[in-house]
Amino acid sequence: MRVLIGGGSGFVGRELTRLLGKRGHEVTLVSRNPGPGRITWAQLQSDGLPPCDGAVNLSGESILNPMRWWNESYKKDVFSSRIDTTRTLAQAIAASPNPPRSWVLITGVACYKPSLTAEYIEDSEWTPFDLLSRLVKEWEAAALLPENVAQTTRQVVIRPGVVLGRDGGAMKQMLLPFWLGLGGTLGPGTQPFPWIHVRDLAGVIAHSLGPGASPDGDDADADARPGPQVLNGVAPAQNTNYEFTKELGRALRRPTVFPVPAFVLNALLGAERALVLTHGQRVSPKRTLETGYQYRYPDLGSALKEIVGG
């Protein structure tokens, strides 16, 4: 099958491209930069959707870029890099004479209000309560296809927790301080830490692309069309930041005795985005499991062992 991936040059996209390639599928990226195996967003707008059986959007200016000060211009980039690209892809799908069988958007668990006690499943009700939850609302709304197109194109929204992997994301920023023995809990440490191994996120995306992309892919929610099927992209294990910190220290054989207080993270990152680290949600992948997806890394021990080679 042919898969079009917006933002596929990034951390998750590279893993997804590897996985789909291994299964014999063809991948075309949509990128800001032209190159082999890619089209640009401008080309997508002017020439329309290239032939594809599945489309995915992974585009987004990194939220935790330590090199950027959290100001209005950064926030605007965070919003537009997600919402505009998603709308462009959804419009190209809607305008295509041959729309793909599936359209998968990756958003995040920031829609669920941080809590020490609530447990969120895909059907949990939520309303925006802060900047990042408003982002998720607008992002997911931008992906919606008109009803007539949604009859033939299956819509899926995957909400991942922190994506863990060797080659990017949060781990890339955390490994050095932990290696140096300077790692510690972030904020109180009791906050939930929803996470997923990058190989599992790629696996869930491939699974969602439907039969053909995944050896065990199914179309479990076909009856529920035309609304999007929501899947929580988190591991089944539910951990706190403290448990994550201790497990990473164990995997690296390093002490983790330097907690980073919330006020330091707020000062460094800005309170609105530091929230991603200092607060968390208990998220269950209930429907993801019901679709039959089998996790390769269901618990922190196996995930961190793969990542740090411990």
The binding site for ligand NDP (CB under 6 A) comprises 7, 9-13, 31-33, 58-62, 77, 81-82, 85, 106, 108, 160, 162-163, 168-170
Which segments of the chain does DSSP mark as H helices, in order? 11-22, 41-47, 72-95, 131-142, 147-150, 169-179, 198-208, 241-252, 262-269, 271-278, 286-290, 300-308
Q: Cα–Cα distance between 287 and 293 in angstroms, integer?
A: 9
Decide: residue 107, CB within 10 A, 0-12 exposed, 13-18 middle, 19+ buried. buried
Helices 300-308, 241-252: axis angle to 10 degrees equals 40
Give the pair of three-digit tokens for residue 292: 């039959």
Residue 170 or 211 having the CB closest to ligand NDP:
170
Smallest separation (angstroms) from ligand NDP to the CB of 152: 25
Q: How far is the CB of 1 from ligand NDP (least distance, A)?
A: 21
**Whose Cβ is closer to ligand NDP: residue 216's or residue 273's?**
273
Q: Which is nearer to ligand NDP, 166 or 225 (by Cβ)?
A: 166
Among residues 11 and 120, whose Cβ is nearest to ligand NDP?
Answer: 11
For residues 58 and 274, which CB has a smaller minimum distance to ligand NDP in the complex? 58
Smallest gap from Cβ 11 to ligand NDP, in A, equals 4
As measured in angstroms, the least distance from the Cβ of 236 to ligand NDP is 17
Answer whether the bond into residue 261 is a cis peptide, omega within 30°: no
Shortest distance in whole angstroms from residue 279 CB to ligand NDP: 15
Q: How far apart are CA 174 and CA 244, in angstroms?
A: 12
The least distance separating ligand NDP from the CB of residue 77, rounded to whole angstroms, comes to 5
Nearer to ligand NDP, 53 or 140 (CB): 140
Give least dist CB 158 to ligand NDP, A.
9
- If phi > 0 it is left, if psi is from -120 to 50 it is alpha, else beta; for residue 292 that is left
Which residues, 6+ apart, have CB-to-CB distance to 304 below 8 Å? 164, 247, 248, 251, 310
Looking at beta carbons only, is 34 or 48 nearer to ligand NDP? 34
Q: Residue with the closest Cβ to ligand NDP?
A: 10
Please report how close the Cβ of residue 112 comes to ligand NDP at its closest, in angstroms.
12
Burial readout 5-14 (b: 16 or more C-beta within 10 A, e: otherwise):
bbbbbbbbbb
Q: CB-wise, 11 or 242, nearer to ligand NDP?
A: 11
Residues ≥6 apart with Cβ < 8 Å to 17: 5, 8, 27, 29
